[in-house]
Chains A and B, each alone.
Chain A
Amino acid sequence: MTNFLTRLFRGQSSANHDPSAQGGEVPSRRSSGLGELTRLLKGSESLAILDLGPTSPANITHFTGLGHRVYNEDVLLAAQNPDYKLRNDQGGGINVDRFFQENLVFRNVKFDAVLCWDIPDYLAEPLVKPMIERIASVMNPKGYLLAFFHTKDAGPDAPYYRYQISGPDTLRLQRGPQFRLQRVFNNRHIENLFHDYASLKFFLARDNVREVLVVR
């Protein structure tokens, strides 16, 4: 696993990288979902926050600076590991059981907030629902999950961005590896995906992204 991570971070990923695009930034965007999450967490201390995106110094700084514990696990990156791919004689696809034996395993912590970003849009189909269920199992009741979903206007080549918190309701977007958009969820799909959770609140944005703040 760590060999895979090392290769990946040396630019030898099996993902379809576009080196010219990596590291590029677009202007900051306002995030109503992040703003709402910030407001809800205000005044709390020593919360456990889980960031499922790529390692982000900005996000770690933001939350540790507020006195919270930050956990980082790049689920999308882990899912690229060829070790999880089933052979053709095994039916192909991805070994879901093994993936969840080795990822999103938290034995001594329950999270108060989870930053899911737009990972469900890019993750392999067999992993999406189990991931949401696994996250629910490691969240505290009334915990919050922030997720982004592309709208129908986004094409399959919609670039993958790393979301870096630059203010209470502001994100800086940085181009990451060129992961391919796997699907577009509509509102009904999103509600079904989070049907085990207590409530959902939708925020519409101008840039073909639908933000959702979910309460466990």
Chain B
Amino acid sequence: MESFKPNEPGRSDIAHIGKSVVIKGELSGSEDLYLDGEVEGSIELRDHSLTVGPNGRVRANINANEVVVHGRIDGNISATGKVELRKSAVVAGDIVTQRIVIEDGAFFKGGIDIQKTNKDQGAARTSSASAQTSTPVTSVTTPGSSTAASTPAPGNRG
């Protein structure tokens, strides 16, 4: 899946919460969300993406498909797809996801647990059986001018 781009033309299906908005309570939805305001409580987007803008301040646990962070999050993140911490991100909490991208300069305090799907596990077993080895899958990408590390779901976890 491509990275979520809030200003991408034609993406009118994305909900926006502006930087002057403050929400306390449970925030849930079934569409992608760009959040540049403040939320305290919980965020539930299930199969959709959340982007926390540079002015975004979140004190909540988050469940979503993809989470892209430019702002600040105090809380746990659970993503079925990917988590991206951009260079301006400040995140304190635990992250459970299949893939994570962290740009150099991001601040993170907490734990990262890379989960993999049943499909990945099956592929890993097949790969391991055929190659008789378990090479870690690690790659480094460079989005824009900054350095980032990308961690796909590892293929050697039981």
Contact = CB atoms under 8 A, between A and B. Distances in A.
A45 B100 contact: no
A6 B72 contact: yes
5 contacts: A2-B74, A55-B107, A61-B138, A72-B111, A109-B111
Given A55-B108, A58-B149, A61-B149, 12 more contacts: A2-B72, A2-B90, A5-B92, A5-B109, A9-B107, A45-B156, A55-B106, A57-B103, A57-B104, A69-B112, A71-B111, A72-B111
Interface in A137-158: none
A46 interface: yes
Interface of A: 2, 5-6, 9, 45-46, 48, 55, 57-58, 60-62, 64-67, 69-74, 109
B113 A60 contact: no
Nearest to A67: B157
A156 to B, nearest CB: 27
Nearest to B106: A55
Contacts of B88: 9
Contacts of A72: 108-112
B105 interface: yes
B141 to A, nearest CB: 10
Contacts of B53: none
Nearest to B104: A57
B23 interface: no
A116 B53 CA distance: 33
Contacts of B147: 57
A48 B114 CA distance: 12
B5 to A, nearest CB: 21
B136 A60 contact: no
A214 to B, nearest CB: 22
Contact of B157 (A2, A5, A46, A48): A46
Interface string B66-90: 0000001010000000000000101
Given A5-B90, A66-B156, A71-B110, A60 B151 contact: yes
A59 to B, nearest CB: 9
Contact of B136 (A2, A55, A67, A70): A67
Nearest to B59: A2
A62 B107 CA distance: 17
B144 interface: no
B148 interface: yes
Contacts of A66: 136, 154, 156
Given A57-B103, A69-B111, A45 B151 contact: no
Nearest to A162: B104
B42 interface: no
A47 to B, nearest CB: 11
A57 B156 contact: no
Which 4 interchain pairs have the tightest Cβ spacing?
Answer: A57-B149, A65-B138, A61-B149, A67-B157
B102 interface: yes
A70 B149 contact: no
A74 B136 contact: no
